[in-house]
Amino acid sequence: MQQVLDGVLERLSEASVSGDEAYFHWLAIMHEDMHGEAFAYTRQTLGYPPPPGWRRAASSASLATTGGDVEIDGGIYRVGALPGQRFVFDNEKWAHEVHLPPFAIARYAVTNEEFAAFVNDGGYQCSEWWSDCGWKWREREHAEYPLYWIPQDNGKWVYRLYDQVLPLLHTQPVIHVNWYEAEAYCRWSGRRLPSEAEWELAAGGMEKAPYPWGEEQPTARRVHLDACSLGAISVSDCTSGDSRNGCRQMIGNVWEWTATDFLPYPGFVVDPYKEYSQPWFGSERKVLRGGCWATRSRLIRNTWRNYFQKDRRDIFAGFRTCPITPSQ
């Protein structure tokens, strides 16, 4: 392994790497980044201690603002990546026009406090909030509340973070919920999940900025990425990372489920890494956007598409919601 690495670094130092060859260097780096995140959530699944040196984040005890929704103008929006970028995956290619009516979307991701209200109201015991597939999953898994939550008296909760049991902080985003749980919460609250096109427009605007705040590369001042601290932070933190319309943490903290099935964009052409996207297209996987606290900053951007099965709740995923309009 060391010989291979040394050879790669020697080759890169020659400054004569072609564009086609650069694809494979970036692919290896980004694939390793994805597996690093997978190790992070697998240690959580197994109840292992966090990786050495990871420190728990200090998080706000109360929300800095009241949240609410932001209004997004509709129009013809180009969803997907634009040509000419350093590296994009095949499922992001290429930007194509989608007509989006005006809509609103939550300023923040759904918090633990908001999701606890659903749980404490008997949300996991009432089938009317669940799709048929979601209810079958809940019964099969005997799910009564989010993964890693531990009930206390009087509707209070604690949760397990790696090998520690900690108070559940109200202002942190709910995390480790699957698509079925997000869907059920939306029905209970009279809201819905955004489509991935709506999410991307809310994040980048019609200008298609690569990040919610614009062109500047991600930094710890703007986003909670790179496992710079352990676990999620308050949904009101990282104010300088807001999108231009005022949505917060659309990059970092928690992945966000969308309503969209993971399908190819029009004109899809498979890249050399043929197994990355093509085998997984279909209705069994939903698109997630935005990255999480353990995602590498060099990996994520507004157009990046993650995708998981609807029953996966081991991943660092939460969600934000949209109000339902009369036409919906």
Is the pLDDT at 326 greater than 80? The verdict is no
Tokens representing 19 are 């564009």
Mean pLDDT of 241-248: 96
Is the pLDDT at 9 greater than 90? The verdict is no
Of residues 17 and 297, the one with the higher pLDDT is: 297
Query: Which residue bears the tokens 């420190």?
Result: 55
Residue 128: C-alpha distances to residues 24, 86, 184, 187, 321 (Å) = 48, 47, 9, 8, 19
Is the pLDDT at 242 greater than 80? The verdict is yes
| Contact predicate 95/78, CB 8 Å | yes
Is the pLDDT at 108 greater than 90? The verdict is yes
Q: Over the stretch 151-177, which tens digit does the pLDDT of each residue have?
A: 999 889 999 999 999 999 999 999 999
Q: DSSP strand E in 177-218: where?
A: 191-192
Predicted model pTM: 0.95
Mean pLDDT of 36-63: 84
Distance between CA atoms of residues 240 and 117, nearest Å:
29
Query: Which residue bears the tokens 């919460």?
Result: 185
The kind and range of the H/E element at 137 are helix 132-141
> Which of 265, 267, 268, 260 shows the shortest CA–CA distance to 285?
260
Query: Which residue bears the tokens 């308050």?
Result: 234
What pLDDT does residue 17 have?
Answer: 81
Mean pLDDT of 229-234: 94
What pLDDT does residue 181 have?
Answer: 99
> Which of 64, 72, 97, 92 shows the shortest CA–CA distance to 80?
92
| Contact predicate 298/234, CB 8 Å | no
| Contact predicate 119/260, CB 8 Å | no
Overall size of the chain counted in residues: 328
Please provide the average confidence, as pLDDT, over all residues in the chain.
94
Distance between CA atoms of residues 7 and 265, nearest Å:
37
Local confidence band at 52 (pLDDT 50, 70, 90 cut-offs): confident
Q: Over the stretch 256-296, which tens digit does the pLDDT of each residue have?
A: 999 999 999 999 999 999 999 999 999 999 999 999 999 99
Show me where the domains of the chain are located.
19-323
| Contact predicate 166/158, CB 8 Å | yes
What pLDDT does residue 222 have?
Answer: 97
Is the pLDDT at 20 greater than 90? The verdict is no
Mean pLDDT of 234-255: 96
Distance between CA atoms of residues 127 and 183, nearest Å:
12
Distance between CA atoms of residues 181 and 203, nearest Å:
23
First to last CA, the chain: 55
Phi, psi torsion values for 140, nearest 5 degrees: -65, -40
Longest dimension (CA), the chain: 65
What pLDDT does residue 57 have?
Answer: 66
Write the CB contacts of 16 (distance below 8 Å, at least 6 apart in sequence): none
What pLDDT does residue 290 have?
Answer: 98
| Contact predicate 324/157, CB 8 Å | no
∠ CA 323-259-221 to the nearest 5 degrees? 75
Mean pLDDT of 26-32: 94
Of residues 98 and 14, the one with the higher pLDDT is: 98
Provide the 8-state DSSP code for 165: E
The kind and range of the H/E element at 317 are strand 317-318
Give the CATH superfamily of 19-323.
paralog of FGE (formylglycine-generating enzyme) (3.90.1580.10)
| Contact predicate 283/116, CB 8 Å | no
What pLDDT does residue 63 have?
Answer: 66
Between strands 103-106 and 96-100, the pairing is unpaired
Is the pLDDT at 10 greater than 90? The verdict is no
